[in-house]
Amino acid sequence: MNKNIILAALTSALLCTASSHAAVPYVFGSGTPITPAAINADFDAQSAQIRTLTRQVSALTARLDQLEGKTTLTTLTAADLAGDYRVNQLQSKLIGVPGVSGAAYVQNYASEGSATLYANGAGYMTGVEHGFDLTITSGISSAGQSVVQANRQPHEQSAQTTTFGWSYANGVVTLAGLSGSFTVVPGSKQLIGWNTTLDGTSALVILTRTN
């Protein structure tokens, strides 16, 4: 059903309810004197409740636009993005082994955890890592032949917590003190980050809103 139809029906129902059941200071019955002051007081009470309902409907409309991705990224604010997120990350690392000639080190793992972006610009992220580390060495055997060896070890890292500052502008969330940035997916339910560093690390990080 069209969203505008839903909102129109909701607004009409709310306003009708407000008109028929609003708490008013004066209730007139048979034989009750009616004065202009009493009538005006009743109208003022109903108008106040209707204004409140109108603000609630406007807030609901804005929230629906945001959830459906119809709110443009330039109209989002940091307050819209503050909240709790699930964190999923894929990371790889390709480096030479320091001090070992002809050796290379490959690290590949996934991590999962949680993050919170606070409205005051602070944030934290925590997660655990699971994957593998692969060390590759090469050399010359006693027979003069090239030899390559690979040693794979499990990569496990217990929960670690990182704190940071964050800011938002024009569809991008920047984390102070951490490399890379996050692009906000329309609807603001996901933040996607990708970064590479000079030490040979590449990471894809996805934050999914949970509240």
The answer as to whether 129 is a domain residue is: yes
The answer as to whether 32 is a domain residue is: yes
168 with 97, same domain: the answer is yes
The per-residue pLDDT for 174 is 92
Q: Which of residues 11, 35, 67 is at a domain's end? A: 67
53 with 84, same domain: the answer is no
The per-residue pLDDT for 77 is 85
Residue 160 C-beta-side C-alpha neighbours within 13 Å: 7
What pLDDT digit, counting tens, does each position of 49-107 carry? 888 888 888 777 766 665 555 555 567 888 889 999 999 999 998 877 656 666 787 88
Any residues with CB less than 8 A from the CB of 200 and at least 6 apart, and which?
93, 94, 95
126 with 164, same domain: the answer is yes
91 with 183, same domain: the answer is yes
154 with 185, same domain: the answer is yes
41 with 123, same domain: the answer is no
The answer as to whether 166 is a domain residue is: yes
Q: What is the CATH number of the domain that holds 110?
A: 2.40.128
The answer as to whether 153 is a domain residue is: yes
198 with 158, same domain: the answer is yes
17 with 44, same domain: the answer is yes
88 with 170, same domain: the answer is yes
The answer as to whether 128 is a domain residue is: yes
174 with 140, same domain: the answer is yes
Any residues with CB less than 8 A from the CB of 90 and at least 6 apart, and which?
109, 110, 203, 204
34 with 98, same domain: the answer is no
What is the number of domains present in the chain? 2
Domain encompassing residue 133: 78-209
The answer as to whether 72 is a domain residue is: no
What pLDDT digit, counting tens, does each position of 162-187 carry? 899 999 988 899 988 776 789 988 77
* Average pLDDT of every residue of the chain: 79
Q: Which is more confident, 55 or 12? A: 55
- The rounded distance, in Å, linking the Cα atoms of 145 and 155 is 32
Q: Which of residues 67, 87, 107 is at a domain's end? A: 67
Q: Which is more confident, 34 or 176? A: 176
Q: Which long-range contacts (CB under 8 A, 24 or more apart) does 137-142 make?
A: 137/97, 137/100, 137/102, 137/103, 137/104, 138/102, 138/103, 139/102
pTM of the shown model: 0.60
200 with 107, same domain: the answer is yes
